[in-house]
Amino acid sequence: MEKGPPLELVDTHLSEYSYIGGHRPTQADRAVLNAVCVPCDRSNTFPNLRRWAAHMESFTRSEMQAFPPHTESCKMDNQLSDLVNKELKVDVAAPNKSPENDKAGNHSKRTENDKDGNHSKGSQNEKGGSQSKGKGKSGKFVLKTPKGTRDYGPMEMAYRREVFNVIYSVFHMHGAVQIETPVFELKDVLTGKYGEDSKLIYDLEDQGGEILSLRYDLTVPFARYVAMNKIDNIKRYHVARVYRRDSPAMTRGRYREFYQCDFDIAGQFDAMIPDAECVQLVHQVLSKLGLGEFTIKINHRKILDGVFGSCGVPSEKFRPICSAVDKLDKSPWEEVRKEMVDEKGLDEEVADKIGNYVKLSGREELLETLANDELLKSSPSAQAGFADLKLLFQYCKSLGCAEHLVFDMGLARGLDYYTGVIYEAVLTAGQNFGEEGPVGSVAGGGRYDGLVGMFDPKKKTVPCVGLSFGIERLFTIYEQKMRAESNKVRATQTEVFVVTACKGMVHERLKLLGLLHEAGIKAEGSYKNNPKILNQLQYAEDNKIPLVALIGESEVEAGVVKIRDTVTREETTIKREELVETVRQKLGGL
């Protein structure tokens, strides 16, 4: 590899843009990362370059391969631009460098097919890059989706449908109902619910009328719905996108618009029965998706509060200290301790005491041990928490979902509104599908008994417990898994492609399509009057359509149809009136 551009040049570029290609990662980032040598000393030179390189390390190789193509959508120094183009050419020529892209579509057949009026499902540029083209370097018109958002193409939607179907089936197994709330709420509804994160809320422009904000999650709208409709109890699910003006936008799948997939149980019930159902549900969804080993970590806000109180944290600092503990899954204890002492003004001694507890994790025996701990024995809060978790363990055993349960004293969950049990599911076998280690949290939740009361004029509350799947992460992992297993997920479900063998057959083709559709069979044909037969057959193969129904003049005259198996290329001639039945038989046997 030749020497890359001077580091200054890249650093300067990155002082203006988050990525080489602008504000989204593209193949240009891979190209430059290949070409430059980022200094590994600990000085402060080239801060933008270092920040960018560190961020790039957060992507797996396959995630990088899936970056959208480079397009010249931001101003770029000529030397940098030349480097990118040169590197990318090398990249394209090298074999097996982008397995995902190879699978994504049928580009080589594309032009040919287009000529004959087949449609190629928009497979080009499937990853739905946020930007694609502009008026060139000097122009102002850049065609893109808003920062932090993206389009989802046909293949991605097909994977999503599969993941959603699994999750919906589990929700229905538990008798959950579905509700839907507006994408925006009165700003007042969201105010005071998210603490520091309130600054991430998208507001709508005041166009004369109410002051509105886009929802930040589905939990607060749910609490508003329960309070507003005076509902005493409900078990509901809600799947929808939420909005956060997070910055930087694009770290490893973190978008400003993303799906949440929530299941909650509201109502005054006996201790831990609904809570255990939530744990069971996480267990079932992750098992059914088959993404490998996972752990469900549990803890209890009352235990944390008990620990904080017993260690000498003043009660007004419980939540800030809790949010420091929450960072333990990403940062080492030393850093968390530093935040407690330096930023949150805790005595070093108190912090160290907390440290002794929050590093602990285990199963039921740890619960026993800690319940008899000298310091915690006298904390009613901690004891209440231990009693809950012991019961939860027992219920989960009866439900058959206790095996993955781990009592983790370091689990804190970020949100302020939790009041009881909290849990978080972590995949531990992410390395099967990506090059990196554990992919982290894929579901989380807990009990929040006070939120509905915040919306009730008389502060009457309805206790709630619920969970949210990190559905965007599940999509990515599921897609990687399916690709790794070479599973055939198709963007369409077409079963039969109707092919005409000679000219002037458009009406015959349409009649056959009408016949198949009438019978409920998924069938397509070319949009050309006189498409070439080979192109039609090729289209069926490229799009993995299992059967072809072929007619020419002689077939029409004789009242027969040729059925061709796309994989074996075996052909059989049948009577037209047997078509539907034959197709059904053949599809049933596939």
* 492 touching a second copy, by CB under 8 A: yes
Question: Helix, strand, or coil here: 307?
Answer: helix
Residues 517-576 that bind a second copy (CB under 8 A): 517-518, 520-524, 527-529
Residues 277-306 that bind a second copy (CB under 8 A): 280, 284
Q: Which CB atom, from 95 or from 457, has the smaller least distance to a second copy?
A: 457
Q: Which CB atom, from 83 or from 296, has the smaller least distance to a second copy?
A: 296
In the complex, what is the shortest distance from the CB of residue 447 to a second copy, in angstroms, rounded to a whole number?
13
* 58 touching a second copy, by CB under 8 A: no
- Residue 217 in contact with residue 260, Cβ under 8 Å? yes
* 176 touching a second copy, by CB under 8 A: yes
Cα–Cα distances (Å) from 18 to 10, 47, 85, 249, in that order, read 11, 12, 19, 10
Tokens of 393: 């363990």
DSSP E strand stretches across 29-149: 131-134, 142-144
| Beta strands 294-300; 405-408: pairing state | parallel
| Exposure b/e, 386-401, CB count within 10 A at least 16 = b | bbbbbbbbebbeebeb
Question: Helix, strand, or coil here: 236?
Answer: strand
* Piece in contact with a second copy (CB under 8 A), picked from 59-67, 124-132, 332-340, 377-385: 124-132
What number of residues does the chain have? 590
In the complex, what is the shortest distance from the CB of residue 396 to a second copy, in angstroms, rounded to a whole number?
9
* Piece in contact with a second copy (CB under 8 A), picked from 318-326, 396-404, 410-418, 476-484: 396-404
* 460 touching a second copy, by CB under 8 A: no
* 205 touching a second copy, by CB under 8 A: yes
* 178 touching a second copy, by CB under 8 A: yes
* 435 touching a second copy, by CB under 8 A: no
* 587 touching a second copy, by CB under 8 A: no
In the complex, what is the shortest distance from the CB of residue 135 to a second copy, in angstroms, rounded to a whole number?
5
Q: Which CB atom, from 228 or from 567, has the smaller least distance to a second copy?
A: 228
d(CA 366, CA 363): 6
- Residue 254 in contact with residue 63, Cβ under 8 Å? no
Dihedrals phi, psi of 258, to nearest 5 degrees: -155, 160
Residues 126-155 that bind a second copy (CB under 8 A): 128-129, 131-136, 139, 141, 143-147, 149-154
- Whole-number CA gyration radius for the chain: 29
In the complex, what is the shortest distance from the CB of residue 215 to a second copy, in angstroms, rounded to a whole number?
11
* 210 touching a second copy, by CB under 8 A: yes
Single out the residue of 14, 276, 370, 389 in contact with a second copy (rule: CB under 8 A): 276
In the complex, what is the shortest distance from the CB of residue 212 to a second copy, in angstroms, rounded to a whole number?
5
Dihedrals phi, psi of 157, to nearest 5 degrees: -65, -35
In the complex, what is the shortest distance from the CB of residue 509 to a second copy, in angstroms, rounded to a whole number?
8
* 117 touching a second copy, by CB under 8 A: yes
* 92 touching a second copy, by CB under 8 A: no
Burial of 256 (0-12, 13-18, 19+ CB in 10 A): buried
Element (H, E) at 500: strand 496-500
Single out the residue of 25, 274, 410, 446 in contact with a second copy (rule: CB under 8 A): 274
Long-range contacts made by residues 130-139, C-beta under 8 angstroms, separation at least 24? 130/24, 130/68, 131/21, 131/22, 131/24, 131/68, 131/71, 131/73, 132/68, 132/71, 132/73, 133/71, 133/73, 134/72, 134/73, 136/72, 137/72, 137/75, 137/76
Q: Which CB atom, from 96 or from 493, has the smaller least distance to a second copy?
A: 493
* 157 touching a second copy, by CB under 8 A: yes
Single out the residue of 191, 198, 369, 398 in contact with a second copy (rule: CB under 8 A): 398
Residue from 458, 457, 416, 455 nearest 186 by CA: 455
Q: Which CB atom, from 281 or from 370, has the smaller least distance to a second copy?
A: 281
Residues 496-525 that bind a second copy (CB under 8 A): 506-508, 510-511, 513-515, 517-518, 520-524
In the complex, what is the shortest distance from the CB of residue 19 to a second copy, in angstroms, rounded to a whole number?
16
Cα–Cα distances (Å) from 245 to 143, 207, 213, 255, in that order, read 21, 21, 12, 9
Q: Which CB atom, from 376 or from 401, has the smaller least distance to a second copy?
A: 401
In the numeric block, the tokens 């603490």 are attached to 195
Q: Binding string, 406-425, against a second copy, x = CB under 8 A?
A: --------------------
In the complex, what is the shortest distance from the CB of residue 424 to a second copy, in angstroms, rounded to a whole number?
22
